[in-house]
A and B are shown apart, each in its own frame.
Chain A
Amino acid sequence: MSLIRFLNVAKEYPRGGVALNHVTFQVKKGEFCFLTGPSGAGKSTILKMVYMEERPTHGDVWINGLSIKEAKRREIAMLRRKLGIVFQDFRLLETRTAEANVAFALEVTGVARGSIRTKVARVLTQVGLASKGTAYPHELSGGEQQRVAIARALVNDPSLVIADEPTGNLDERATRGVFQLLREINAAGTAVIMATHNLGLVRRADLRTIEMNHGRVVYDSSDPVPEIGGGGDAETEARRAAAAAWRASAPPPPEPDLYDPLLEDEL
């Protein structure tokens, strides 16, 4: 069964135009999937539908078998306990330590106090921050803050991690570290859907990639349909060409090998 299933999804805002149009794709359990495309292409709207913060105006979305059309508020809350969400701006509480930020996700979902401490310690170790649990967010680097956010996303043992531009605010080195961490999480069986416009990152990792432009899926690496010249209407063809041009404009990767041994101490 697919973990994420979008079927002919459209999203129109009353005054803001069309955010998504005819979006259809699936993500399987345990899969790693990039969502790329320029700003405004609809990546974040798709992710918001995955964690059911937005509803489509047409079509339907199923997450773990739950239809967004039929989902009740309580079901959405219960679904989110099985999702881990990571953002570009980390969204940590400045007044709480790293440990308390991670524990917060457990406290507000009614997990027994006794088991919180052990779980928090486990995920902080997993993200490589075992020694920084008592630090406040402003005392941590950007990369470390994002690791705390990832620890918070992991602490409920999610079946899917949703990452919206998780490396957008990070330098190259921290980007690689965070991406490596997400890949490790995926290797342990958790599906990851990651929106990014860091094309270097996408190119170097040979993973499932869905490319968006103007609210449409213009390329899906799991699709057998060829790229430019592959048919379809003129509009689709033009969008595909524009997306290909955008992809080609990305800077070349600075290093040939993504898994730099120098990173070992960072991970």
Chain B
Amino acid sequence: MTALREALMAFRRAPLLSTLGVVTIAFSLFAFGLFGLVAVNIQEALHAVEEHVEIRAFLTDGTPIEAVSAAMGDIGSFPEVRSVAYVSPDQALVRARQELGDFSDVFEPGVLPASIDVRLKAGFRDPATVAAVANRIKSYDFVDDVRYGREWVEKLYKIRTLASLIGTGLGLAFAVVSIIIIGATIRIMVLARAKEISIMRLVGATNGFIRLPYLLEGFIQGILGGLLALGLTWTTCTAISHAFIKTAFFDPGIATFGVICGALMGLLGSGFAVGRHLRRL
């Protein structure tokens, strides 16, 4: 109780330093949050793009429709497959003309082969699985060729892996920098009260008793900083949604996690700062 009162009093006693602590936590988490937003939205976009990952098996001319529908039944029962669709030469022509727009007249009727278009379930769209399924489909006699945009699928995955790696790396770097800055601000507070702390030690206060108000202070700063960062990120997100493109925000779980991260950063920073001061005998 006394520790909490002391911790809150520190905000009154050194409003500038406390604000500095809160603002540094807020800004580092805000930077983290902005990157997080980019990551979340890349992820969403990738999910949307992944929907379009499909395997197209071109059929040899004159394949009997019975064989095709039997094969489609087979393929449809693969655990990786979500849907199988037959595209006749006429439908292929219509689709090609739609996609080519102004150049729609380059194809003559009958030029394009019939195909089976296969879409995969989410979680089976990685390059290895796509290639495996494509190979299985290729084993049918009447399948002339299989296309699945191999390079494209691989690139997509590389982008996502890279995005997660950069996100994790930057996130960790930001977290470390924040902890150091918070540690430094708390250390300034500790030094400002060094005389008080030395007297406390001399009259027999335990280290835990001395440490508690600073830990609480760091914790409170962390929570305030986290909330401020959340507000800033949300405002930015809303602004981007209004001005440019619709942007997804974190779900409540991740938002809470962010604030908890702030609190932990505050705790760690103040813990290091006071610990260093008290480590003498």
Q: Could you tell me which A residues sit within 8 Å of B by CB distance? A: 51-55, 73-74, 76-83, 85, 91, 93, 104-105, 107-110, 152, 156
- 28 examples of A-B residue contacts, CB within 8 angstroms: A51-B202, A52-B281, A55-B281, A73-B206, A74-B206, A76-B281, A77-B201, A77-B204, A77-B206, A77-B207, A79-B204, A80-B202, A80-B203, A80-B204, A81-B203, A81-B204, A91-B195, A91-B198, A91-B199, A104-B200, A105-B203, A107-B2, A108-B200, A108-B209, A108-B210, A109-B203, A109-B205, A156-B204
Q: A91-B195, A104-B200, A109-B205 are in contact. List 17 more A-B contacts (CB 8 A).
A: A52-B281, A74-B206, A77-B204, A77-B207, A80-B201, A80-B202, A80-B203, A81-B203, A82-B204, A91-B199, A104-B199, A105-B203, A108-B204, A108-B209, A108-B210, A152-B203, A156-B204
* Interface assignment of B44: CB less than 8 Å from any CB of chain A: no
Q: How close is A193's CB to chain B, nearest CB, in angstroms?
A: 15
Residues of A contacting B201 with CB < 8 Å?
77, 80
Q: How close is A139's CB to chain B, nearest CB, in angstroms?
A: 19
Question: Does B202 lie within 8 Å of A85, measured CB to CB?
Answer: yes
Residue on A nearest B2 in the bound complex, by CB:
A107
Residue on B nearest A81 in the bound complex, by CB:
B204
Q: How close is B155's CB to chain A, nearest CB, in angstroms?
A: 59
Question: Does B281 lie within 8 Å of A54, measured CB to CB?
Answer: yes
Residue on B nearest A73 in the bound complex, by CB:
B207
Once A53-B281, A77-B204, A79-B204 are accepted as A-B contacts, the answer to whether A110 and B209 lie under 8 Å apart by CB is yes
* Interface assignment of B144: CB less than 8 Å from any CB of chain A: no
Q: How close is B126's CB to chain A, nearest CB, in angstroms?
A: 55
State how many residues of chain B have any CB contact under 8 Å with chain A: 16
Q: Could you tell me which B residues sit within 8 Å of A by CB distance? A: 2, 195-196, 198-207, 209-210, 281
Residue on A nearest B13 in the bound complex, by CB:
A95
In the complex, A82 Cα to B204 Cα: how many Å?
A: 8
Residues of B contacting A81 with CB < 8 Å?
203-204
Residue on A nearest B209 in the bound complex, by CB:
A108
Residues of B contacting A109 with CB < 8 Å?
203-205
Residues of B contacting A51 with CB < 8 Å?
202
Q: How close is B274's CB to chain A, nearest CB, in angstroms?
A: 14
Q: How close is B12's CB to chain A, nearest CB, in angstroms?
A: 12
Residues of A contacting B205 with CB < 8 Å?
77, 108-109
Residue on B nearest A113 in the bound complex, by CB:
B2
In the complex, A81 Cα to B207 Cα: how many Å?
A: 14
Residues of A contacting B204 with CB < 8 Å?
77-83, 108-109, 156
Residue on A nearest B200 in the bound complex, by CB:
A108
In the complex, A52 Cα to B199 Cα: how many Å?
A: 14
Q: How close is B178's CB to chain A, nearest CB, in angstroms?
A: 30
Residues of A contacting B199 with CB < 8 Å?
91, 93, 104-105
A-B pairs, 10 with minimum CB distance: A81-B204, A80-B204, A108-B205, A105-B203, A77-B206, A108-B200, A77-B204, A85-B202, A109-B204, A91-B199
Q: How close is A258's CB to chain B, nearest CB, in angstroms?
A: 29
In the complex, A235 Cα to B71 Cα: how many Å?
A: 107
In the complex, A8 Cα to B202 Cα: how many Å?
A: 25
Residues of B contacting A77 with CB < 8 Å?
201, 204-207
Residues of A contacting B196 with CB < 8 Å?
93
Question: Does A93 lie within 8 Å of B203, measured CB to CB?
Answer: no
In the complex, A55 Cα to B205 Cα: how many Å?
A: 19
Residues of A contacting B203 with CB < 8 Å?
80-81, 85, 104-105, 108-109, 152, 156
Residues of A contacting B206 with CB < 8 Å?
73-74, 77
In the complex, A79 Cα to B200 Cα: how many Å?
A: 13
Residues of A contacting B195 with CB < 8 Å?
91, 93
In the complex, A110 Cα to B2 Cα: how many Å?
A: 10
Residues of B contacting A52 with CB < 8 Å?
281
Residue on B nearest A155 in the bound complex, by CB:
B203
Q: By CB atoms of chain A within 10 A, which of B198, B203, B207 has the most? A: B203
Residue on A nearest B203 in the bound complex, by CB:
A105
